[in-house]
Structure 1
Amino acid sequence: MKKQFLLSCVCLIFAGSNAQNKTPKMTKTIAPPVAAVKPKKLEKHGHVRTDNYYWLNERENPEVIDYLNKENEYYNAMTAHTKQFQADLFEEMKSRIKEDDSSVPYLYNGYYYITRYEKGKDYPIYARKKRSLEAKEEIMFDCNEMAKGHAYFQLGGLNVSEDNKWCAFGVDTVSRREYTIQIKNLETGEILPVKLEKTTGGSTWASDNKTLFYTRKDLVTLRSEKIYKHKLGTEAKEDVLVYHEKDDTFSVYIYKEKSKKYLVIGSNSTMTTEYQILEANNPDGQFRVFQKRTRGLEYNISHFGDSFYVVTNKDKATNFKVMKTPEKATAKENWVDLIPHRKETLVEGIEIFKDYLVVEERNNGLNKIRIMPWNGKGEYYLPFEIETYTAYTTTNVDFDTDILRYSYQSMATPPSVIDFNMKTKEKTIMKEQEVLGGKFDKNNYTEERIWATAQDGTKVPISIVYRKGIKKDGNNPFLLYAYGSYGSSMDPYFSSIRLSLLDRGFVYGIAHIRGGEDLGREWYENGKLLKKMNTFTDFIDCSKYVIDQKYTSPKHLYAEGGSAGGLLMGAIINMAPELYNGVIAQVPFVDVVTTMLDDSIPLTTGEYDEWGNPNEKEYYEYMLSYSPYDNVKKQKYPNLLVTTGLHDSQVQYWEPAKWVAKLRTMKIGDSQLFLDTNMDTGHGGASGRFEAIKEVTKEYTFLLDLEGIKR
């Protein structure tokens, strides 16, 4: 996933041409670790593969842990000469963070809620104030205290009852996205002894303030599959199973509508949706299906007044449309168009207010926010002037208001939280992220949207940012990032950490490749299943374009991606290794065929509609054609830094470990190959805000060292 950091960073030095052609200086020549070869035959559809490193998936095997530790030792020894630079970079980045920062308060049900940080502390403090911002602060949770004694800590799913007395919260101390839910009395500070295990962390209260609904995961696959009901004063073993999602391609969750009238159980697969609803004041009643699942029918629901508003692809509305239906007649035959389908405009979501409907749209790859008064008079769009921005609605929990809260940022503009009066069209910037140090000026940077031509003629946008004054002579280091899966749009965003690269002469780009939804739903459809190869060739063609336009050259071009973006990295270095000097693959999904054939692994069955089901020969053969692990060959590879976490629930650690082991035996030449395994964390990396920066400094020093930039 895309890493976004609410951090601040300006660079000390602008040294774009500082010894960029120097060869990195290794501390000493050290033999890399060699994983034992233990061949295992894997057969499917009459085809046999030999996996020499299949044994690395034995998480409890001391030999596996020993191998991972030896890879870490090798990485640390080979990069020892950069440790001081890493420390300097860390201090550089940290010094620009407003350590005693806080969120913009929002009012909900009589309380202002605030998330804040204190100087020198890694974790947030969640607080509230009754009725007024001048009121005494009530600290709900101090995560710095709660995290003590844990190598990893994550608090999530905070959910306050309607009487403001009880708060349910989830805690993960393993980084495997398995949360234990507990309940706190906000009036007395007491945390009830009951613990709800193996959950998603999310929950919702019924209107009676004593019934809590939550989601449990399968113990093996970690699929969200069951909705339970817990009553205050009872033990966890007494909890009642409300719904079991038995289709293993679906995941399930529960929430309460903004109107507070309905509880909603949602069941989602990649391309099909189903909801069940129940009045929130009747928690012991029976949920009823809103519209039964129909393969290929996707919809989201929002309640207002006596109706539901439905964002859906019904009637072949590829880019979705908005429909309306009575709350007592919710089946699709009762839905009527409110905003018809438009081929060129993707409807991403809606926000409902007493006097306005707000629609989030995407046109030509750009976010649009559309304001539509219910009286039908004078609808309009919020104006945005550049092409490298991101804008989206944020916390809007109140119906009866003219104020829309949204966020705006660009690749050179720090994020802002803005309150916009939809009636007067006046906007108030509630907060802009501070970049400390007094040296940051967004006018020192140029941001552009450029278009590469893919091999099939498709135009692919690239958002780029760089320090003003660089020359397009092919000598600039360039880091190109992409994701390209699940319809996740990689919108342009600001990163203060990234300034440490920009101010040292790097160009940074985001390739908006197919497989994301950046240019609408068809952009996604043309980068999945049997069209997945477009994702990889788009990135390669974007790489060739920035080289052709003299932004950089193969000696100075770098690529980065994580998770499914790590799959992208694995594919491009098999297909076009000569284009890159270095690649960073974060928690990479690289053993596609073996993983998708193992339905005991988290996420597998629920992703057949994304990648295909390899139990079917057509999909098996197509996956095999691009799976990075299966396509490693005898050739030169770029310098490569691979990161993973031992407890990763999304991409198991053994995928990158096996990949690196195989690359070691196959790659030609003396390029660097490092595997860095965090033995304490999972898919998201370190949990503390400063620890997360340390992980980035490893990546940056890897790149800067390859460029010969030492300070």
Structure 2
Amino acid sequence: MSDSTAPQAKQIPTERTHHGDTFVDHYEWLREKDSPEVLEHLHAENAYAEAVTAAQKPLRERVFEEIKHRTVETDLSVPSRRGDWWYFTRTIEGEQHPVYCRVAAGPAADVSPQETGAGENDGEHGSWTPPQVEAGVTLEGEQTFFDTNAEAAQHPFYQLGGLSLNAEGTLLAYSEDTSGDEHYTVRFRDLSTGENHPEQIGNVHGGPVLEPTGRRAYYMVADAAWRPYRLYMHTLGTPAEQDRLILEISDEQLWTGVGLSADKRELVIISGNSEYDESRLLDVTDPQAEPVLLIGAERRLLHSIDPIDVDGERLLLITHNQSGPNNALSVTTAAALTAQAADADPEVDSDPDQPLDLGKPVLPHEETVKLEGVSVTAAQIIVTARRNTVESVQLLSLDALRAARTGADPVRTSTLPGPDFEEELYTCAVIAAEYEAPLFRVAYESWLTPTRIYDIDHATAEPVLRRETPVHDVDLEAYRATRIWAPTGDTRADGSAIEVPVTVLHHRDVVADGTNPTLVYGYGSYEMSMDPSFGIPRLSLLDRGIVFAIAHIRGGGELGRGWYEDGKKLKKMNTFTDFIAATDHLILQGWADPARVAALGGSAGGLLMGAVANLAPEKYVAILAQVPFVDNLTTILDPELPLSALEWEEWGNPITDPEVYRYMKSYAPYENVRELAYPAIAAVTSLNDTRVLYVEPAKWVQVLREHQRGESPVVLKIEMDGGHGGASGRYETWKERAWDYAFIAHHLGADQKLGAGQDLSGSEPRR
């Protein structure tokens, strides 16, 4: 077989029967990852993809160089204070990974609680104003405590799972994945010597958590389905075989995560899914402590827990959906919750159908504001909320909490003060809120504003700009971002029309005249919002006259919990029809040439791409699906596969529910490929992906080619040393993005930049 001939996998019929329905799968054998025949086939797919896209290579190289040129390769982060150290990262030109550095600071006790970080002590390490770090200039006393490049040089793939430091900054616990399968190894480093301890812990899920003294580390282990379900405590200096099992969660539908409370006294343990959580606290100051159940899964309450001390009393802030889908905030105590826990006392009435007593209301439920969560500090509470798609921060005083505790009326989230920003569409997220600090730090960005780091004083709420990410040779005034609303044809219970928000990004020289090549991006699952974010690679498309449209479709969280619930389970089809409606509206409004529209999505957004390809292939000249979840029914029908059981809360359980089975089968991309003229399709995946297995797109492209009645190519590009996020390292990531964008631009007939001698309005799409 030549590289220019599409690889044809042999057919081995495998029957799957559920609810009286039998599906014959001819390519299930491609799941045998270690089979030499499978690996040979995957290499052949890569060779075919390379041959088919050979003409795009010069464009890929140009896009890669544009990304590389615009990115400040030797760069740094703003130092963040923890204890008596300032921590920051450096990236170095030519290196793939960041270097973690620190420099000593004056004792935090030297700083008055009223100090704002901007005053006569600016620049001194004893203040909360970060030291000025310059690229290529080493600070006096600067230490490199973890060089990711040196660690990664020993492996074809390298990814950090997490870093955790003790309070004194003398011990570092970190986890690393060297294959891309997200099985991590935990190691411990003495920062006074730079040497690793001999002990290590293998097969860990995610990163470790050190308690403040550094004597103990907590970590999660996953089961065969790659669900984190066991929490262990490791005592430094002892063999991993002696680690104490703290907790095991047997419910296969619960995913467990852990993190220290803001004051680092307790480990907050949340086991949950997209519809409900179970919460526990563990006292990390006591090595013999047992987790204390606060709210059990049987309550079916979606919630989070944040401990806080107020006037010497230990309280719990509960963000929960008991009062409504957009969440409310209540204040209570651990004792009040444990008294209601199902396993606390058999004599206690713990009827899960009765509402929990969650204490006093602090922030009530609001129909137009989604309360995302809170960050606790000793000065005040930082509230993260979303209104009209925009997520930002508001400030809740401890006095307001005290008033709520004594029975005062709750304060509406929408009335809380917060920092003001000029742009209409932006993202503002808390990235550092040290418990005793006089300020907290946020990252701000928009579609056309590179990330800015602000420190915000607790007393004044005034943002102090610490840094804006530099970008080389870009006139950001040359681009525009606007919001349009696409009608879906659906209505709400009150009769109002349901419209999909669509963000339109374009070069200022591009106007809505019906001639533009357009790329429509979407995701629409798991209540994940496609929030405004600045991306250098995207500029290469805008410079070629391509309109980049983000469809904020149902299944995401942009318009609150209801927006998500209207795009899951037996309403999942709304996600796909919303995307098509957004495409139609872009054409109607003149933003898109109907013959020059492409689509892009990844993971669950890859499922979106597969569904749209079957529903409306004629609307797109090219579709690019990244790590696509296109054989979703097969996966979710097998609870032994990674993460499958956890997916039942998102899609429904097709094993036990015939209605769910029939509904999922009606849109499952792999099972609905038909005799159609499909657009050019590229499926991009990784061999070691544990979230969406490579076999899904490998099977999908086979049936697409069998049923393709057009002349457009269908290719599979597979990273043989990568995971769900692709290859490791920033340069490899840029190459992958350049491949993706070159594929899109080529098929849109938009290879050349605006003003580079090509009349884009006359370009022909390439199928």
The TM-score by the shorter chain falls in which range?
over 0.9
Change (3 A) 1:400 1:694: closer
Deviations 1:125-148 (A, max 9, x none): 111112134551121110111011
Deviations 1:59-101 (A, max 9, x none): 1111111111111111111122222222222122101111111
1:392 aligned onto 2:429:
yes
Query: Out of 436, 446, 453, which is 2:472 matched to?
Result: 436
Matches within 5 A, 1:605-620: 605-615=645-655, 616-620=657-661
8 Å Cα contact 2:479/2:507 also seen in 1: yes
CA distance in 2, matches of 1:675, 1:121: 29
1:215 equivalent in structure 2: 220
Which residue identity is paired with 1:446? Answer: R
8 Å Cα contact 1:455/1:537 also seen in 2: no
Which residue identity is paired with 1:705? Answer: H
Matches within 5 A, 1:145-164: 145-164=150-169
1:6 equivalent in structure 2: none
1:406 aligned onto 2:442:
yes
Which residue identity is paired with 1:417? Answer: I
8 Å Cα contact 2:377/2:434 also seen in 1: no
8 Å Cα contact 1:180/1:201 also seen in 2: no
Matches within 5 A, 1:348-359: 348-359=372-383
CA distance in 2, matches of 1:86, 1:400: 46
2:52 equivalent in structure 1: 78
Q: What SS does structure 1 have at the residue aligned with 2:76?
A: coil
Which residue identity is paired with 2:233? Answer: K
8 Å Cα contact 2:330/2:358 also seen in 1: no
Q: What SS does structure 2 have at the residue aligned with 1:371?
A: strand
Matches within 5 A, 1:11-90: 30-90=4-64
Query: Out of 401, 420, 424, which is 2:460 matched to?
Result: 424
Which residue identity is paired with 1:699? Answer: D
Deviates more, 1:627-636 or 1:63-72: 63-72
Per-residue deviation, 1:29? 9.9
Query: Out of 442, 447, 462, which is 2:481 matched to?
Result: 447
Deviations 1:466-510 (A, max 9, x none): 111213222111111111000111112111111001011011111
8 Å Cα contact 1:405/1:418 also seen in 2: yes
Which residue identity is paired with 1:448? Answer: T
Change (3 A) 1:314 1:70: closer
Ranges in structure 1 where 5+ consecutive residues have no aligned partner: 1-27
Per-residue deviation, 1:515? 0.4
Which residue identity is paired with 1:412? Answer: L
Matches within 5 A, 1:543-692: 543-615=583-655, 616-692=657-733
Q: TM-score of the superposition, structure 2-length normalised?
A: 0.86
Change (3 A) 1:208 1:122: closer
Change (3 A) 1:543 1:64: same
CA distance in 2, matches of 1:703, 1:539: 18
Q: What SS does structure 1 have at the residue aligned with 2:336?
A: coil
Query: Out of 138, 141, 147, which is 1:136 matched to?
Result: 141
8 Å Cα contact 1:516/1:524 also seen in 2: yes
Which residue identity is paired with 1:330? Answer: L
Ranges in structure 2 where 5+ consecutive residues have no aligned partner: 106-124, 126-130, 132-138, 339-355, 404-414, 491-496, 753-767
Q: What SS does structure 2 have at the residue aligned with 1:504?
A: coil
CA distance in 2, matches of 1:160, 1:563: 33
Deviates more, 1:331-340 or 1:577-586: 331-340
CA distance in 1, matches of 2:239, 2:3: 59
1:165 aligned onto 2:170:
yes
8 Å Cα contact 2:13/2:27 also seen in 1: yes
RMSD, aligned α-carbons: 1.7
CA distance in 2, matches of 1:677, 1:41: 27
Change (3 A) 1:432 1:207: closer
Query: Out of 188, 196, 218, which is 1:191 matched to?
Result: 196
Per-residue deviation, 1:261? 1.6
Which residue identity is paired with 1:267? Answer: S
Q: What SS does structure 2 have at the residue aligned with 1:88?
A: helix
Q: TM-score of the superposition, structure 1-length normalised?
A: 0.93
Deviates more, 1:223-232 or 1:130-139: 130-139
Which residue identity is paired with 2:162? Answer: G
1:124 aligned onto 2:124:
no
Which residue identity is paired with 2:395? Answer: I
Q: What SS does structure 2 have at the residue aligned with 1:333?
A: coil
Identical positions, percent: 37
2:406 equivalent in structure 1: none
Change (3 A) 1:149 1:383: same
Query: Out of 250, 268, 283, which is 1:246 matched to?
Result: 250
8 Å Cα contact 2:270/2:304 also seen in 1: no
Which residue identity is paired with 2:707? Answer: M
CA distance in 2, matches of 1:708, 1:517: 34
CA distance in 2, matches of 1:317, 1:135: 53
Deviations 1:553-590 (A, max 9, x none): 23211110000000000001100111111111000001
Query: Out of 349, 366, 369, which is 2:393 matched to?
Result: 369
1:700 aligned onto 2:700:
no
CA distance in 1, matches of 2:315, 2:708: 57
8 Å Cα contact 1:388/1:463 also seen in 2: no
Which residue identity is paired with 2:462? Answer: E
CA distance in 2, matches of 1:366, 1:707: 31
2:289 equivalent in structure 1: 285
8 Å Cα contact 1:297/1:312 also seen in 2: no
CA distance in 2, matches of 1:426, 1:253: 34
Q: What SS does structure 2 have at the residue aligned with 1:594?
A: helix
8 Å Cα contact 1:514/1:534 also seen in 2: yes
Deviates more, 1:373-382 or 1:207-216: 373-382
1:303 equivalent in structure 2: 307
2:186 equivalent in structure 1: 181
1:341 equivalent in structure 2: 365
Q: What SS does structure 1 have at the residue aligned with 2:587?
A: helix
8 Å Cα contact 1:387/1:448 also seen in 2: no
Deviations 1:592-620 (A, max 9, x none): 11110111111100111101111121111
Deviates more, 1:465-474 or 1:536-545: 465-474
Query: Out of 95, 105, 119, which is 2:69 matched to?
Result: 95
2:325 equivalent in structure 1: 318
CA distance in 2, matches of 1:310, 1:39: 55
Query: Out of 473, 492, 510, which is 2:513 matched to?
Result: 473
Which residue identity is paired with 1:395? Answer: A
Which residue identity is paired with 1:221? Answer: A
Q: What SS does structure 2 have at the residue aligned with 1:194?
A: strand
Query: Out of 544, 556, 565, which is 1:525 matched to?
Result: 565
1:516 aligned onto 2:556:
yes
State the structure with bigger RCO (CA 8 A, min sep 6), 1 or 2: 1
